[in-house]
Amino acid sequence: MLKPKIYRPLQALSIVILMQLAINCTSRIPEYLTSEAKEIRSSYFHSSENIDGLMLSGTINETPLFRFQGDEAGPTALIIGGTHGNEPAGFEAAHRLIKQFSDSPLKTGEIFIIPEANKIADQKNNRRIKAPRGVDIEMGNLNRCYPGNSHGLPMEKMAFEITTLIKTHDIDVVIDLHESPVFHLEYIEANSQYHGLGQTLIYTPNEEASWIALMLVDEMNEAIPPGLEQFSLAAGPVQHSAAWSAGEFFGIPGFTTETCKKLPLETRIDYQLKMVGIILREAGISP
Ligand SMILES: [Zn+2]
């Protein structure tokens, strides 16, 4: 009898499903990344001589740390992308910065980049990763976990490793790339209690950061017609964020760059790159 034949279509289907699962598990490239970022990721992520090490090494949250050293010594910046996985302009910009600094070496200073800081959230287009049942959900939100905890949950450990990096390498400026669903000026105009943070630069209330912030907002707005797309400043990053931690524990300038998700993605990426360029220049790091 040839009875087993009837199982073959099902077996074939199972094999197809298993193969798709295997492809999804091994590629781990977020599907919604732009083709440019996908290309950068495949060219630099696994072979780059500029990978300095892995954050959360040996865990499912493991993610590369890139390092670019200039010809001349100077200040050191840390740029963080992918803190929130549903704010793609930030990690798209971080990928493009990796390509930029790989192709044209820095003249002065040094730059560390963590392009996918909350990698699992970035892959799933989620703001944060899940926290265990009964634990505050914000413990899966990297930007509420600073200065971190070496024995804590994964994002507390990531914050701890970033804090250690700032300390070990004597970082001079921290830039954390973010997005917001609502324009900041939209709600100010509507006289609402709620202020969206789209198109803002949030800065630590220290002198150096304030100076850079003023320069930045003027320069950004020179090229933007009056209206909602103009940038505003917001002093005082939220507690336990990367920028807050930079000011609070190290007394250095910390910035949260916020583009508005109502704008086209490429426009937002351009704004992110321009803000990073201005901050680096004003901090004394020349590309
Ligand atoms: Zn964010």
- In the chain, domain spans: 34-283
Distance between Cα 190 and ligand 1 center (Å): 23
CA-to-CA separations, 209 to 59, 173, 206, 227, in angstroms, rounded: 35, 9, 6, 25
Mean pLDDT of 20-28: 42
Q: Of 20-34, 87-101, 179-193, which gets the smallest average pLDDT? A: 20-34
Give the Cα separation of 266 and 271 in Å (integer): 9
Tell me how far the alpha carbon of residue 178 lies from the centroid of ligand 1, in angstroms: 4
Q: How far apart are CA 121 and CA 130, in angstroms?
A: 9
Q: How far is the CA of 47 from the centre of ligand 1 (A)?
A: 29
State the pTM of this model: 0.89
- Of the listed ranges 39-43, 76-80, 161-165, 206-210, the least confidently predicted one is 39-43
- Contacts with 69 (C-beta within 8 Å, 6 or more apart), sequence order: 106, 110
As assigned by CATH, the class of the 34-283 domain is: alpha beta
pLDDT at position 158 is 98
Characterize the bridge pairing of strands 173-180 and 72-80. Answer: parallel
Neighbours of ion ligand 1 (CB under 5 A): 84, 87, 178
Q: Which of 26-40, 98-112, 203-217 has the lowest mean pLDDT?
A: 26-40
17 Cα–ligand 1 center, Å = 35
3-state DSSP assignment of residue 82: coil
What average pLDDT does the structure give for the chain?
A: 89
What is the sign, positive or negative, of the torsion defined by CA atoms of 115, 82, 284, 100?
positive
Span from the CA of 72 to the centroid of ligand 1 (angstroms) = 33
Compute the distance between CA of residue 98 and CA of residue 13 in angstroms, rounded to an integer. 40
Average pLDDT over residues 118-122: 95
| Token pair listed for 137 | 């959900």
Alpha carbon 148 to its chain's center: 17
Residue 51 Cα to ligand 1 midpoint, Å, equals: 25
Residue 269 CA to ligand 1 centre (angstroms): 14
The reported pLDDT for the residue numbered 196 is 85
What number is the average pLDDT over the span 111-128? 96
Residue 64 has pLDDT above 60, yes or no: yes
- Residue 82 Cα, ligand 1 centroid: separation in angstroms? 8
Among 110, 101, 130, 109, CA closest to 118: 130
What distance in angstroms lies between residue 90's CA and the mean position of ligand 1's atoms?
Answer: 9
102 burial class (0-12, 13-18, 19+ CB within 10 angstroms)? middle
Q: With bands split at pLDDT 50, 70 and 90, how would you rate the model's confidence at 32?
A: confident
Measure 87 CA to ligand 1 centroid, in angstroms: 6
Edge-to-edge strand order for the sheet containing 173-180? Answer: 51-55, 63-69, 108-114, 72-80, 173-180, 254-260, 200-203, 232-235
Q: Per-residue pLDDT averaged across 186-204, rounded?
A: 81
Q: What is the mean pLDDT of residues 191-206?
A: 86
For residues 50-72, give the mean pLDDT. Answer: 96
Separation of CA 176 and ligand 1 centre (Å): 9
Query: Ligand 1 centre and the CA of 184: distance in Å?
Result: 14
CA of 126 relative to ligand 1 center, distance in Å = 11
CA of 237 to the centre of ligand 1 (A): 11
Omega of the bond prior to 147 within 30 degrees of 0, cis? yes
Greatest distance between any 2 Cα atoms in the chain: 85
Q: How far is the CA of 253 from the centre of ligand 1 (A)?
A: 18
Q: Which residues contact 39 (CB under 8 A, 6 or more apart)?
A: none
Interval between CA 86 and ligand 1 midpoint (Å)? 8
Q: How far is the CA of 286 from the centre of ligand 1 (A)?
A: 27
pLDDT digits (tens, 9 = 90+) for 203-223: 999 999 999 999 999 999 999
